[in-house]
Structure 1
C-alpha cells in the first residue's frame, strides 16, 4: 500500500508535470525498479570505459597512415640537383691533364700575315699574351730559355703584339685556336705559358705566370739533347 505524496503535508512540493507520485509503504516494492536503474547505470559506465579503449587502436592506425604517406612524399618529391638526363658532362681539362698531350698543328701568322706552323718552332716556350702584353714576363722567358729553345708570344687578333724583344718570335692567332685548346681564360695581369718539347708534347702549362721562376726548372727539359761527338 502507498499513499500519494502530493496530498501529504510531509513532502515538499513536486513539479506538476511529474503527475501523481505514490510512495509505497514497503521499500521492497521498489526492488525491481532499483535493479533496472542499476543495470542502466552499469551499462552507461561500460560504454564510457570502452570508448578510450577503442580510441587507442584508432590512433595507432592514423599514425601508421600518416607515416606511410610521409614516406611516399619523401621518395617521390623532386630534389634539387637531381639529374633528369641520361648524359653526363665531362669537366674541362685542367692544366695537369694537359701535360703529355700533343700540341695541335696550328698555323699562326706573323707581322706580314704570313702563315707560320707552330710545330716548326719546337721546342718552344709559348706565351699567350692575348689578355696581357706582359713585356716583363716575355723578357724573363727570353733570358731564361736554354739554347735551341724558341720563345714565342701569341697574341689575339690578326697582328702580333710588337715589337718583340730580341730572340722572341711574335705571332698572332686570329682564330684563337691555341687558347681554345688549353681551355684557360685570358688574364689581364698575367700570361699563360706553354712549355713544349721537340716532339710536340706539352711538358707543362702555367695558367697565369707571374714570374719565370714558376717554370724555370722545367726549361731544361725542353733543351735539345746534345749531339755526341766521336
Structure 2
C-alpha cells in the first residue's frame, strides 16, 4: 500500500500506490484547496509548450510512422488524471474526528406521551353465550384472565374503579365464570380477537389490563396487573 497520511490512513481501496520518491502526499479535506496547485501545473504545461516550440521545429524527431511525438500530450494526460484522482480522494476519503473537536449533536425532540390506540369493535359473549359489544361497556378496565384468574388483583381493581367505569374480565375459554367477583362483569372471547388485534401474548401467572376511555381510545396497557398504585391515576382519568 502507499504511504499513510498524517492521521495514519492509507490510500482508499482501489487506488494505485504512489511512487515512493514523491514522499508523503497530504490530501486536503476540501478539494478546492487544490485550485492553486492546478493553476501552477497549467502554467508549467504552457511554459513547456512554449519552450518545446522554440527549441525545435514541430517536425523534429518524428515517430517512425510520421506522427508527432507523444511526450507532451502524455504528460498532460498523466497530470490531468492525477489531479482528478486526488480531488476524488479528498472528497471520499473518510476522516476521523480530530482531537479536541466536539461532534455536532442535533437535539432530538422530547417524546410526548400519546394514547396507545383505538379499541377494536369486537363482540364478546356472556355466560348465556349472548353477544356483548365491547364498545358498549366504555369507559372500562378490561382485564385479560385467560392465563391467570388473579382474583385478588381483579378484586383490588374493582374496589378502586370510579363510578361509571366498567371492570371486565375476559377469558379465551368458552365457559364464563359463573361466580364472578362483585362489581366485575365476566365475559369470554373464544376467538382470541382482542389479543390478536393488540398483539398481546399471554404469560402464565400474569393478567393484562387495558384502560379504555369513553371514546374507545386505549390509553394504557398494563402488561402485568400488580398493585393498584401503579395504575390508580390512569384509571381515575377514564371518566374525565
* TM-score (structure 1 length as normaliser): 0.53
1:74-153 equivalences in 2 (<5 Å): 99-153=115-169
Alpha-carbon distance in 1 for matches of 2:178, 2:152: 13
Pick the aligned partner of 2:180 from 158, 164, 169: 164
Alpha-carbon distance in 1 for matches of 2:122, 2:113: 20
Alpha-carbon distance in 2 for matches of 1:164, 1:98: 33
Q: Provide the secondary structure at the position in 1 that maps to 2:185.
A: strand
- Runs of 4+ aligned structure 1 residues displaced above 4 Å come to none
Deviation at 1:162, TM superposition (A): 4.1
Pick the aligned partner of 1:189 from 205, 215, 234: 205
Alpha-carbon distance in 2 for matches of 1:194, 1:98: 15
- The count of residues paired between Structure 1 and Structure 2 equals 131
Residues 1:181 and 1:115: Cα distance change in structure 2 (over 3 Å) = same
Q: Provide the secondary structure at the position in 1 that maps to 2:152.
A: helix
Aligned to 2:189: 173
Tell me if the contact between 1:133 and 1:161 (Cα under 8 Å) persists in the aligned partners.
no
Which of structures 1 and 2 has the bigger CA Rg?
Answer: 1
Alpha-carbon distance in 2 for matches of 1:156, 1:108: 10
Deviation at 1:159, TM superposition (A): 1.9
Tell me if the contact between 1:195 and 1:204 (Cα under 8 Å) persists in the aligned partners.
yes
Deviation at 1:164, TM superposition (A): 1.1
Q: Does 1:203 align with 2:219?
A: yes
Deviation at 1:209, TM superposition (A): 1.6
How large is the RMSD of aligned CA atoms in angstroms?
Answer: 2.0
Tell me if the contact between 1:105 and 1:117 (Cα under 8 Å) persists in the aligned partners.
yes
Structure 1 segments unaligned to the other structure (5+ residues): 1-66, 69-95, 226-230
Residue deviations 1:87-114 (CA, integer Å, cap 9, x gap): xxxxxxxxx9993411000000000000
Tell me if the contact between 1:103 and 1:196 (Cα under 8 Å) persists in the aligned partners.
yes
Residues 1:170 and 1:97: Cα distance change in structure 2 (over 3 Å) = farther
